[in-house]
């Protein structure tokens, strides 16, 4: 069975008298250890897709199964629980807590877990070491470069051991050299068995993924592996 299956998922918005089909009967299956890019022009449905995959939003119609959970039937409080357990988010703007150290930022999602401070600290240090920041754990975000901040954000996404990592334009705020470093890290995470979904409009980023799904007008226009 797929880690993720979306079957005939639609997301509709009522705008005045008009219905906007942000997603229009999309069927897509994502296997464990997939390394997938969603591409498409502005307005094609990428963010809507990511919000649904990330359990931030529910489909208007259709089925969404995530790691055995029937997401479309969950209540809002159950949705946030699934999100905390299953999803690691990485954002374009890093979204770190500005007055917290790298370590505290990475420990933050573990607060909801029933683990001791000592155990949380160990997990966070391991995650920061994993992304190559073992020597920067006491730095504040503004004492780190853009690439390092994104590494902290990746460590924060990894620390809960989610079943899937979702990245929304993760290199959109980075220069080309730093972009390459982050992509090398994603390649390594893929190699280590993680499942990665990246939304991007940059063809070079999509070209590094193993699978590229192009959205157009809320539908799947193409789905190719390489
Ligand atoms: N909350 C919303 N209310 C109304 N329309 C929306 C909303 N979110 C997205 N849309 C519309 O759905 C379509 C897809 O949007 P989006 O998923 O943000 O595309 P992308 O991320 O590819 O630019 C667009 O036409 C957009 O205007
Ligand atoms: Mg978008």
- Quick: pLDDT tens for 48-93: 999 999 999 999 999 999 999 999 889 988 999 999 999 999 999 9
- Kindly report the average pLDDT of the chain as a whole number: 95
> CB–CB of 180/13 below 8 Å?
no
Which residue's C-alpha comes closest to atom 3 of ligand 1? 13
Q: Strand 164-168 and strand 87-91: pairing?
A: parallel
Map out the domains of the chain as residue ranges.
Answer: 33-52+82-225
pLDDT at residue 140, rounded to an integer: 98
Interatomic CA distance for residues 145 and 129, integer angstroms: 17
Coil, helix or strand at residue 209: coil
pLDDT at residue 76, rounded to an integer: 87
Does the beta carbon of 221 lie inside 6 Å of ligand 1? no
Does the beta carbon of 48 lie inside 6 Å of ligand 1? yes
- Quick: pLDDT tens for 106-123: 999 998 888 899 999 999
Flag whether pLDDT at 200 surpasses 90. yes
- Quick: pLDDT tens for 122-176: 999 999 999 999 999 999 999 999 999 999 999 999 999 999 999 999 999 999 9
**Ligand whose nearest atom lies closest to the CA of 46:** 1
pLDDT at residue 100, rounded to an integer: 98
pLDDT at residue 114, rounded to an integer: 86
The ligand 1 atom at the shortest distance from the C-alpha of residue 45 is 17
Q: Name the CATH superfamily housing domain 33-52+82-225.
A: P-loop containing nucleotide triphosphate hydrolases (3.40.50.300)
Q: How far apart are the first and last CA of the chain?
A: 22
Does the beta carbon of 172 lie inside 6 Å of ligand 1? no
> CB–CB of 210/37 below 8 Å?
no
| Overall average pLDDT of the 92-106 stretch | 97
Q: Please state the length of the chain.
A: 226
Place of tokens 């969603």: 38
pLDDT band per the 50, 70, 90 thresholds, residue 203: confident
Flag whether pLDDT at 1 surpasses 80. no
| Overall average pLDDT of the 28-50 stretch | 96
User: pTM of this prediction?
Assistant: 0.93
pLDDT at residue 129, rounded to an integer: 97
> CB–CB of 221/192 below 8 Å?
no
């Amino acid at each position: 069975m797929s880690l993720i299956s979306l079957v005939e998922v639609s997301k509709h918005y009522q705008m005045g008298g008009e219905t906007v089909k942000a997603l229009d009967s999309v069927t897509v299956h994502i296997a464990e250890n997939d390394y997938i890019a969603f591409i498409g022009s502005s307005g094609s449905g990428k963010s809507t897709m990511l919000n649904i995959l990330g359990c931030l939003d529910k489909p208007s119609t259709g089925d969404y199964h995530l790691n055995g959970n029937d997401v479309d039937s969950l209540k809002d409080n159950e949705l946030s629980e699934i999100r905390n357990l299953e999803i690691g988010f990485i954002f374009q703007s890093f979204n770190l807590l500005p007055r917290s150290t790298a370590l505290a930022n990475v420990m933050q999602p573990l607060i909801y877990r029933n683990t001791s401070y000592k155990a949380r600290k160990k997990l966070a240090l391991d995650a920061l070491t994993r992304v190559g920041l073992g020597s920067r754990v006491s730095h504040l975000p503004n004492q780190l470069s853009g690439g390092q901040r994104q590494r902290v954000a990746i460590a924060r996404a990894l620390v809960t051991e989610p079943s899937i990592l979702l990245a929304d334009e993760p290199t959109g705020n980075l220069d080309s050299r730093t972009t390459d470093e982050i992509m090398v890290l994603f390649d390594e995470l893929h190699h280590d068995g993680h499942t990665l979904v990246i939304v991007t409009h940059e063809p070079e980023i999509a070209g590094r993924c193993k699978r590229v799904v192009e959205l157009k007008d809320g539908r799947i226009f193409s789905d190719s592996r390489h």
